[in-house]
């Protein structure tokens, strides 16, 4: 070290090479420690403090490292004493706090972009780790998931996202999928722990995202939703999700990534792990339920019409418009195939947009009963009118029963066509939208025609169409 006095004039040399700044990390680290663990100051080449500490400051000045003391914030100090003969200070770099804030801002920015953020560090042991940097990972939703979410929300299905990601990442992904809006809320797993079931039940309708949540939080969320009377379907893939899947009304396990325990606890398994499959399952379920209602409507309206027709004819002192053979033919031969076709009717395209039904509702709703009665009245009135016109001569002939039977069959065929939907009218559905039901209607007409033309007899009281 060259130069005299407490100033920056002079050089620091090692093996004939001038050292300046941090071009020699080992020497620079020694000088940095001597400068920071120091109480002396040099102002205008004047020392304020002890000469030993002043010499260390002068060394730093000659290397261009003066001002290191100002770069650190001293948190604690262990002063030098004659007994212990050492001094120590605990300090942090002034830029460390700024860097932390910068890292936090960067983490928030990456999370808001929908990235899952990982912080990487290294060190000899926990508590002595050195931060290295941030890594952002994106797991983009599958194609069509956003459209499926939008459709389900429009149909009255409330979708909740439960994730272990940070709030920024979870909200960003939920917003991208259309799950999160300005009026939505997001709560963390810690907040869930602080709430009981009743308190959680009050806020879950408004919460769209549960972040930093674990499998144990899923069970609490399920109970809070069920406490509000909701039918809950929960998805999961891990062993820890088994309890939540069992508690849900419908447990849905992932077929590809799900564990065996998870699959055993679930009620349904997504073979392709695709969210759209859930929408397809809901659509198929609604379609099957509607087909059951269509089947019930057709069968009950036909049976009530036949029973009412015989009862009214008896009350009006008319001869029986249909005999036992004809009624059996209608119920077994004529109604069976169309009823089966109604059971396999294609799912209505708009059925997924209909709101969920109340579990307490009976399949025979007031609306369905009214439709059954209206269909029955139309069949009875039309058939009875034809029978009355044919009886104006007060003599019942095979022609009369044939006309009555044929009229009932035609009304029954149109009843089968109109029973295909609980909402849309027949002309909106079209005759070609369901090949199965139209085919059965044609077969039904052919069977009736064959019965009348070829099998007319005294037992069935019918005559050939040629005679009619």
Rounded CA gap, 268 and 457, in Å?
56
pLDDT at 448 over 70: no
The more confident residue out of 96 and 235 is 235
Confidence (pLDDT) at 60: 87
Confirm if 103 and 136 have CB atoms less than 8 A apart: no
- Comparing 345-349, 364-368, 406-410, the range with the smallest average pLDDT is 345-349
* 145-278 fold: Rossmann fold (3.40.50)
pLDDT at 156 over 90: no
Give the model's confidence band at 211: pLDDT under 50 very low, under 70 low, under 90 confident, else very high: very high
- Comparing 38-42, 246-250, 281-285, 316-320, the range with the smallest average pLDDT is 316-320
Confidence (pLDDT) at 200: 92
Q: What is the CATH number of domain 13-95?
A: 3.40.1110.10
Does the pTM surpass 0.75? The reply is no
The residues near 338 (Cβ < 8 Å, ≥ 6 apart) are 298, 413, 416, 437, 440, 441, 444
Confidence (pLDDT) at 467: 43
Number of Cβ within 10 Å of residue 128's Cβ equals: 9
Spell out the domain ranges in the chain.
13-95, 145-278, 283-454
Residue 315 structure tokens = 């009350």
Identify which of 217, 220, 234, 216 has the alpha carbon closest to the alpha carbon of residue 160.
234
Confidence (pLDDT) at 233: 92
Residue 4 structure tokens = 């005299």
Q: Averaged over 128-138, what is the pLDDT?
A: 86
Residue 148 structure tokens = 């499926």
pLDDT, tens digit, for every residue of 274-290? Answer: 888 888 888 888 888 88
The domain 283-454 belongs to what CATH superfamily? Calcium-transporting ATPase, transmembrane domain (1.20.1110.10)
Confidence (pLDDT) at 458: 44
The more confident residue out of 127 and 38 is 38
pLDDT, tens digit, for every residue of 235-278? Answer: 988 888 899 999 999 999 998 888 899 999 999 998 888 888 88
């Amino acid at each position: 070290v060259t130069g005299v006095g407490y100033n920056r004039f002079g050089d620091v040399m090692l093996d004939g090479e001038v050292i300046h700044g941090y071009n020699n990390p080992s020497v620079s680290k020694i000088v940095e420690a001597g400068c920071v663990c120091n109480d002396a100051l040099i102002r205008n080449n004047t020392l304020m403090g002890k000469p030993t500490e002043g010499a260390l400051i002068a060394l730093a000045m000659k290397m261009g490292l003066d001002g290191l003391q100002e770069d650190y914030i001293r948190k604690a100090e262990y002063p030098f004493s004659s007994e212990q003969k050492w001094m120590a200070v605990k300090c942090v770099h002034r830029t460390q706090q700024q860097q932390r804030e910068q890292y936090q801002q960067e983490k928030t920015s990456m999370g808001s972009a929908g990235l899952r953020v990982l912080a990487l560090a290294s060190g000899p042991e926990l508590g002595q780790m050195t931060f290295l940097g941030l890594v952002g990972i994106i797991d983009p939703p599958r194609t069509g998931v956003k459209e499926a979410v939008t459709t389900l929300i429009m149909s009255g299905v409330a979708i909740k996202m439960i994730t272990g990601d940070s709030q920024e990442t979870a909200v960003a992904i939920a917003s991208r999928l259309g799950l999160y809006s300005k009026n939505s809320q997001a709560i963390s797993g810690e907040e869930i722990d602080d709430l009981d079931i009743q308190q959680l039940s009050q806020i879950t309708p408004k919460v769209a995202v549960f972040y930093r949540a674990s499998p144990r939080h899923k069970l609490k969320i399920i109970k809070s939703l069920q406490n509000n009377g909701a039918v809950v379907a929960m998805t999961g893939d891990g062993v820890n999700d088994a309890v939540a899947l069992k508690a849900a009304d419908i447990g849905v396990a992932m077929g590809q990534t799900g564990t065996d325990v998870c699959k055993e606890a679930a009620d349904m398994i997504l073979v392709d792990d695709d969210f759209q499959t859930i929408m397809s399952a809901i659509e198929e379920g609604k379609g099957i339920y509607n087909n059951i209602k269509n089947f019930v409507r057709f069968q009950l309206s036909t049976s009530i019409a036949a029973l009412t027709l015989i009862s009214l004819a008896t009350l009006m002192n008319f001869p029986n418009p249909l005999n036992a053979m004809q009624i059996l033919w209608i119920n077994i031969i004529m109604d069976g195939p169309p009823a089966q076709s109604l059971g396999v009717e294609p799912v209505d395209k708009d059925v997924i947009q209909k709101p969920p039904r109340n579990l307490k509702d009976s399949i025979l709703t007031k609306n369905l009963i009214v439709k059954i009665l209206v269909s029955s009245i139309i069949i009875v009135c039309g058939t009875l009118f034809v029978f009355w016109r044919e009886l104006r001569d007060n003599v019942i002939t095979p022609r009369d029963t044939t006309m009555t039977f044929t009229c009932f069959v035609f009304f029954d065929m149109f009843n089968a066509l109109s029973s295909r939907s609980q909402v849309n009218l027949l002309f909106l559905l079209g005759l070609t939208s369901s090949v199965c039901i139209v085919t059965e209607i044609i077969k039904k007409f052919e069977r009736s025609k064959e019965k009348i033309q070829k099998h007319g007899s005294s037992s069935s009281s019918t005559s050939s169409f040629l005679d009619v």
